[in-house]
Amino acid sequence: MRLPTRLALVAALALGPAAAVADPAPPTRALPESRGQVQLSFAPLVRRAAPSVVNVYGAHVERRSANRNAMDEFLRRFFGETGPGGTQERAQRSLGSGVIVDAAGLIVTNNHVIENMNEVKVALSDRREFPAEIVLRDPRTDLAVLRIKAPGGLSAMEFGDSEGLQVGDFVLAIGNPFGVGQTVTQGIVSALARTQVGSADYQFFIQTDAAINPGNSGGALVDLNGQLVGINTAIFSQSGGSHGIGFAIPASMVKAVVETAKGGGRLVRRPWLGARLQNVTPDIADSVGLDHPTGVLVASMVAKSPAEEAGLKRGDVILSVDDRPVDDPEAFGYRFALKGISGETKLAVLRGSNRITVPVRLAPAPETRPRDTLKIRTRSPFLGATAINLSPAVAEELQLDLPADGVVIADVDGGSIAHRVGLQKGDVIVAVNGVPVTTTRDLDRITRGALSAWEVTINRGGQQLTSVFSG
């Protein structure tokens, strides 16, 4: 506000004394009326909330043989692998934050903080340290739940109402940035329902200008009631430091994951619509009579899915889920995922020029055929990969916009041949050496052959790729 004031003053001086007299009086400042107003502080709130925020340390030590054969030598040339033989040891470490959400010892953090870690420790604000058991991982939300066994004295933070947040509300971020120790920063809610962040499948983030830095991941975003309204998870930065653009997972999603862990579940099950959705463009909005682009367009449906059973049609525009508006497929996915896997939810749908309400059954995606998990241990480009049969349930878990059949890579061991040749989780194996692969048994039979060359065709994100390997 100072720059406009200076410009007004310069203009007044240029016009002379008469113009200067006409300049509006500056706004009055109110003096504090009591000592209490002078001493207003977030300190009482921090004293209440900070003991619930912890430091999370992860470690993973990988040991593998460095003995080489013909295929390893081929990979060394192209991928830079080195080592004359023997045993190599590689240690990975991570540092983040977490929040105690149950006095019995449950702690929520980001999945990326403990991803691939086989040893996890938690340090409380009073410097006590405990080994932590990983109770649940949910990569789709980038959340994980840990459990520690502490002899009493745990302070759990209550969940707040993230749905009631408004842009401009004060919030505090508590965590362990850069490993310097517990730190509190203050800011406001800068935006809500951010969906183009890219750090999780369910994107519906709270944006804040409270400083969030590396190490804050998994820490608490706290409202002025001292309640948890979000788990800090990502920042927008070109330098690695805070630029005042941080993102937190809303407490409504965090609570759903924690409730699954409390119930003994190790996998969060969510409802399945069975439809492919896309953004409503300005042209589409104009063609269906919307005054601005909003909602999601139904592009196609899976046979016998809840979407088809409910009577949704291609070209329908879904405007809301139980009266909660949705502006894009990510917002719909978030709202729909919170509904659980029983009962039904109501979708407000624009069909042509008519607005109708469509009840949709809430149920998880079905496993229409066994996964028949195959861990490939034979010498081939797939060595170290885990493959499973596709089904609607698997396609939903891996967020594949593909037909629900075939064989998909479910996991790839770090440092394995499959990893080094570039295979990724979610790759659908189409054919090997020209032979179609429709089940994991097909893949098992093919990879047991002692071949000197491999032609592998995969579908990655809808794009078909073919590579040739030798060794």
The answer for residues whose C-beta is within 8 angstroms of residue 146's C-beta and 6 or more apart is 56, 98, 106, 107, 108, 109, 114, 120, 122, 132, 133, 134, 135
pLDDT at residue 319 in the model: 95
Domains and CATH numbers, the chain: 49-147 (2.40.10.10), 162-262 (2.40.10.10), 275-361 (2.30.42.10), 374-470 (2.30.42.10)
Measured distance CA(410)–CA(408) in Å, rounded: 6
> Collapsing DSSP states into helix, strand and coil, what is residue 391?
coil
pLDDT at residue 265 in the model: 83
pLDDT at residue 79 in the model: 41
Stretch 370-389: mean pLDDT? 92
DSSP per residue, 5-64: HHHHHHHHHHH-HHHHHTSPPPPP-PPP-SHHHHT--SHHHHHHHGGGEEEEEEEEEEEE
User: Would you report the helix, strand and coil content of the chain in percent, each value rounded to 5?
Assistant: 20, 35, 45
- Do 58 and 16 touch, CB atoms closer than 8 A? no
Residues 205-235: pLDDT tens digits? 888 888 787 778 889 999 999 999 999 987 6
Distances (CA, A) of 286 to 160, 293, 352, 353: 39, 8, 12, 12
> Collapsing DSSP states into helix, strand and coil, what is residue 154?
coil
Radius of gyration of the chain, Cα coordinates, nearest whole angstrom: 27
Which of 12-21, 327-336, 367-376, 431-440 is predicted with the least confidence, judged by mean pLDDT? 12-21
User: N- to C-terminal Cα distance for the chain?
Assistant: 69
- In the chain, the amino acid numbered 374 is L
Residue numbers belonging to the annotated binding site:
112, 142, 215-217
Please give the share of the chain, as a percent, with pLDDT higher than 70: 80
Number of DSSP helices (H) and strands (E) in the chain, helices first: 13, 26
| 84/470: higher pLDDT | 470
Stretch 60-65: mean pLDDT? 58
The model's pTM is 0.74
Band of the pLDDT at 399, cuts 50, 70, 90? confident
The answer, yes or no, to whether residue 471 has pLDDT greater than 70, is: no
Residues linked to residue 208 through DSSP beta bridges, in sequence order: 189, 246
The answer for residues whose C-beta is within 8 angstroms of residue 351's C-beta and 6 or more apart is 313, 315, 316, 317
Residue in 282, 294, 350 with CA at minimum distance from that of residue 325: 294
In 10 A of CB 249, how many CB atoms?
29
Band of the pLDDT at 54, cuts 50, 70, 90? very high
Band of the pLDDT at 7, cuts 50, 70, 90? very low
In 10 A of CB 295, how many CB atoms?
26
Stretch 267-286: mean pLDDT? 90
Stretch 385-401: mean pLDDT? 87
> Collapsing DSSP states into helix, strand and coil, what is residue 444?
helix
- In the chain, the amino acid numbered 74 is F
pLDDT at residue 77 in the model: 40
Please list the active-site residues.
112, 142, 217
Which of 379-388, 428-437, 445-454 is predicted with the least confidence, judged by mean pLDDT? 445-454
Residue in 319, 321, 309 with CA at minimum distance from that of residue 351: 319
Measured distance CA(122)–CA(158) in Å, rounded: 20
Which of 20-24, 102-106, 235-239, 284-288 is predicted with the least confidence, judged by mean pLDDT? 20-24
pLDDT at residue 127 in the model: 86
Residue numbers belonging to the annotated binding site for substrate:
112, 142, 215-217
Measured distance CA(361)–CA(343) in Å, rounded: 6
| 403/172: higher pLDDT | 172
Please give the share of the chain, as a percent, with pLDDT higher than 90: 37
Mean pLDDT of the chain: 81
